Amino acid sequence: MRYAHEVDKVRAAERALMARSPEGALMRRAAAGLASVCAGLLRSGRAGVIGPGEGVYGSRVVLLAGSGDNGGDALYAGALLARRGAHVTAVLAGSKTHEGGLAALRSAGGRSLDADDPAGSVAAIEAADLIIDGLLGIGGRGGLREPHATLAGHASRSVATIVACDLPSGVDADTGVVSGAAVRADVTVTFGTYKPGLFVDPGAGHAGVVELVDIGLGPYLGDPDVVLPQAADVDLWAPGPSRESNKYRRGVPGVVAGSKTFTGAAVMSVGGAIRGGAGMVRFASAEHSVELVRHRWPEAVTSVVDTSLSEVGRVNAWVAGPGLGTGEHAEALLAEVLGTDLPVLVDADGLTVVARRRDLLWRDAPTVLTPHAGELARLLGTEADQVEARRLEHVRRAAEELGATVLLKGSTTVIAEVGRPVRVNPTGTPRLATAGSGDVLSGLIGAFLSGGASAIDAAAAGAYLHGLAGRLAASGPASDERPPDDREAPISAYDVIEAIPAAFRTLTG
Ligand SMILES: NC(=O)C1=CN([C@@H]2O[C@H](COP(=O)(O)OP(=O)(O)OC[C@H]3O[C@@H](n4cnc5c(N)ncnc54)[C@H](OP(=O)(O)O)[C@@H]3O)[C@@H](O)[C@H]2O)[C@@H](O)CC1
Ligand SMILES: Nc1ncnc2c1ncn2[C@@H]1O[C@H](COP(=O)(O)OP(=O)(O)O)[C@@H](O)[C@H]1O
Ligand SMILES: [K+]
């Protein structure tokens, strides 16, 4: 698990640690960590136009330095690189400059110029192999002002490798919100703890590869606000079989999905549940959907139902909603599953129904809701673009107001439950944005709920494996030297189902 803390907690931890540390020690640790990552990039040839092995000596490094301590970190890191032979130029952008940092840079042979000298700044940025973004860190508020915004734009257009100091300037540390211009980094070197905005889009999309430098804040930080699960966590959360297992003990999810008109969603959801490791999947729907599911998944136990599920047989958890329609039949079936004391996942059309019948969510057993931004907007009475722009805020609000575990799908999937840190899913690819792929996710999570996972563990494990299956399906076998992201090709929801077993194998491999 990777832990992220909001700015207030970072500041409190910083104060506690500073009281026990020599003057300037934290900034020196941060700068040393930053310089070390930059040196590694210059040595490996990943930075700018430098060839492998050319290293720090003779490289051209530009520091974008704002008025605060973020600028101070960048200046001290620049001084360390200058002492190793880099040609370092600081572009001073703030209303003031960190004096100690600037003095260190100058005495190491680095030079500085004012951002008011646009020609000089642009020439330096264009010639740079590596740019350190020290404009703003956790003290940044709102969209970048000038000259910061213009400098961020020049940096983004340069061929240099961009290393963000603590976080990319223009990204809100607590939320990942970006209002206007922001630096797009290749690498972010963050200090003491991860910041939530580095995990969640649009901020995550600006951060590149994130490296954490330990500056000793750990004992003073307290509980995280946001966490990023890793494979080892998911391996614990996704229920697996034991020697004593039989098909009933492994869990029996009941899928209530599809209708006379919509059949594909049901096929995808049942597929997700089967590949998710359910001992047996029960499926209940209108006749046409049942026929299609039986044809595609003969292993499912099906029932044709109208407005009652009394003939379906025993299940341990319900998945309700994909392709179900939103009329009276759908409402009756949803009311029945939500009236049980079993865990229930509500997705797709089911979410439209509960948006007008919120009372159905007043229950004691766990409920998982899996909306995309549009569905969550409807549940909260807001607009989808607001949800997309401020994902953490909206998912937390939904968990609170609806009394459920809420998984918000999209470019970063985030999962909230009252009283717990938000879990952010690290896997996935935009290739998953294809009809039916969300239905696969509902079945997968349903399998984990029926296997005994808690609501938040089932949701987080489902999102992780679904995202990984999407990536594996899109990137295909590793038969050539291109990295998986470059190999990605379009996929269908069915391809995602087929890749789920391979995704499981990566957990323990
Ligand atoms: N905490 C820790 O443990 C450690 C922290 N460390 C480092 O300190 C960093 C935080 O430093 P910080 O507090 O000085 O804030 P920081 O982000 O540099 O600048 C804020 C200033 O920028 C301005 N400004 C604000 N918004 C703006 C905007 N939209 N557009 C333009 N300008 C804007 C505003 O100044 P103004 O220009 O308004 O006077 C404000 O005062 C942290 O990220 C990390 O790098 C490490 O050294 C070691 C351990
Ligand atoms: N830009 C994106 N990047 C990564 N994943 C995405 C993106 N957009 C959508 N997804 C994922 O694709 C899936 C689509 O689900 P959903 O919107 O419910 O589609 P459907 O209802 O057609 O199945 C979700 O898992 C979601 O997280
Ligand atoms: K920065």
Q: Which of 452, 451, 449, 349 is nearest to 405 (CA)?
A: 449
DSSP three-state, residue 88: strand
How many angstroms is it from 159 CA to the middle of ligand 3? 18
Q: Is the CB of 386 under 6 A from ligand 2?
A: no
CA quadruple 466, 467, 469, 475: dihedral, nearest 10: 160
Domain 231-240+250-508 has CATH 3.30.70.2740: no
Which residues participate in the annotated binding site for K(+)? Answer: 70, 133, 169
Q: Are 486 and 398 in contact (CB under 8 A)?
A: no
% of the chain beyond a pLDDT of 90: 89
Confidence of residue 47 (pLDDT cuts 50, 70, 90): low
How many angstroms is it from 218 CA to the middle of ligand 2? 35
If you write DSSP's letter for every residue of 193-238 in order, what string do you get?
Answer: SB-GGGTSTTHHHHH-EEEEE--S-GGG--S-SEEE--HHHHHHHS
Confidence of residue 485 (pLDDT cuts 50, 70, 90): confident
Domain(s) labelled CATH 3.40.50.10260 in the chain stretch across 2-225
Q: Which residue has the CA at smallest separation from atom 15 of ligand 1? A: 139
pLDDT in tens, 354-392: 999 999 999 999 999 999 999 999 999 999 999 999 999
Query: Which two structure tokens, joined as six digits, stand for 282?
Result: 């029960």
Pick the CATH number of 2-225 from 3.40.50.10260, 3.40.470.10, 2.60.200.30, 3.40.50.300: 3.40.50.10260
Confidence of residue 484 (pLDDT cuts 50, 70, 90): confident
Which pTM value belongs to this model? 0.95
> What is the structure's pLDDT at 46?
62
How many angstroms is it from 412 CA to the middle of ligand 2? 10
* Ligand 1 first shell, C-beta below 6 A: 10-11, 14, 26-27, 30, 66-71, 73, 94-95, 136-145, 148, 165-166, 191-192, 215, 217
Q: Which of 147, 127, 68, 128 is nearest to 101 (CA)?
A: 68
> What is the structure's pLDDT at 329?
93
Rounded to 5 degrees, φ, ψ at 206 are -95, -10
State which of 372, 431, 494 you would mutate to test the pocket of ligand 2, scoring each by most atoms of that ligand within 8 A of its C-beta. 372
Domain(s) labelled CATH 3.40.1190.20 in the chain stretch across 231-240+250-508
Its ipTM equals: 0.95
State which of 17, 18, 37, 67 you would mutate to test the pocket of ligand 1, scoring each by most atoms of that ligand within 8 A of its C-beta. 67
How many angstroms is it from 136 CA to the middle of ligand 3? 5
Mean pLDDT of 275-292: 96
Higher pLDDT, 51 or 313: 313
CA of 320: how far to CAs of 159, 285, 312, 392, 435, in Å? 50, 10, 14, 25, 17
